[in-house]
A and B are shown apart, each in its own frame.
Chain A
């Protein structure tokens, strides 16, 4: 049977079983995601004046992006599937990001708060 992971016609219960190895990989990925989430939440405990800096927002966005890409690669199988699916999904995502960054810029979202529309 062809699946996202290739042909799996036999069920073998030993350490070399690809299903077992794959499941271990999933658990490892989940542990990494949990650690990244813990790191994100830990930033909430930082001093408030530090939380309002651009560096803080960028760091959180980087962590968010890592988590996002990790889930799509491993849990959604883009790493193992046809490249066409990666191109299709990330093209749509890039379009969405570009469109809404333009919208935010139109409303002066990236300007100082008193110049933003709506006030």
Chain B
């Protein structure tokens, strides 16, 4: 019994750095990070399905109202896309700051990332509202349903990312996010960058390439 307890105490934590040269896992990658990458891989299939559905339904049936492409405000969407792209820079700078042990800069860049994400979401809400006022609601036609579902799902992902960023900030302010746990921030960063690359696809395929 005593030896079993001893073994439990001394057993290596697979998510703890092993000798400074990787992790004590079969892959040498922490389970947390590997799990996030596999999750992001599965997200490719989710967004692939939503983008494909939009492409198939982008032309509404005749007489069922406007198509989304008739209402796009490309200059406005370009600005919000640029804002989201720049939030990836602030996110990676936040990760870098915590890895360097600079907690002040980490909090600064995290707040900046959350704010940029909020600006993007505000822009999306404004765009949706403008579309509804133009006569294109969620159930107006098959094209609008596909459009709102795709961009709405993406918006929900950004919102979840903002919640995670605010959580990280609160953890940091309470002293629960030391430099040794920088990987937690890196994993949240992976999610945030993924949301960004999905928008890179949506912006080009849905907004810029004409139907």
Contacts and interface: CB of A to CB of B under 8 A. Distances in A.
B197 interface: yes
Interface in B74-102: 74-75, 78, 81-82, 85-86, 88-89, 91-93, 96, 99-102
B82 A85 contact: no
B134 to A, nearest CB: 19
A104 B96 contact: no
Contact of B201 (A56, A64, A82, A95): A64
Contacts of A76: 189-190, 193-194
Contacts of A81: 29
Contact of A96 (B34, B44, B92, B142): B44
B45 A99 contact: yes
Chain B interface helix/strand/loop/mixed: helix
A48 B210 CA distance: 9
Interface residues of A, number: 60
A52 B210 contact: yes
Contact of B89 (A30, A37, A48, A60): A30
Contacts of A63: 204
Size category of the B interface is: 35 or more
Given A19-B96, A22-B96, A99-B48, A61 B22 contact: no
A104 B204 contact: no
Nearest to B142: A118
B186 interface: yes
A71 B99 CA distance: 19
Contact of A104 (B38, B55, B93): B55
A96 B42 CA distance: 9
Contacts of A64: 200-201, 204-205
Interface stretch (B3-11, B156-164, B175-183): B175-183
A26 B90 CA distance: 9
Interface string A26-53: 1101100110010011011000100110
Which 9 A-B pairs have CB atoms at the shortest separation, nearest pair first?
A: A92-B41, A96-B48, A30-B89, A64-B204, A96-B44, A100-B52, A19-B100, A41-B78, A100-B48
19 contacts: A2-B17, A19-B96, A26-B96, A33-B85, A33-B88, A37-B82, A41-B208, A48-B210, A61-B209, A75-B89, A77-B186, A85-B33, A85-B34, A88-B37, A92-B41, A96-B45, A99-B48, A100-B52, A107-B56
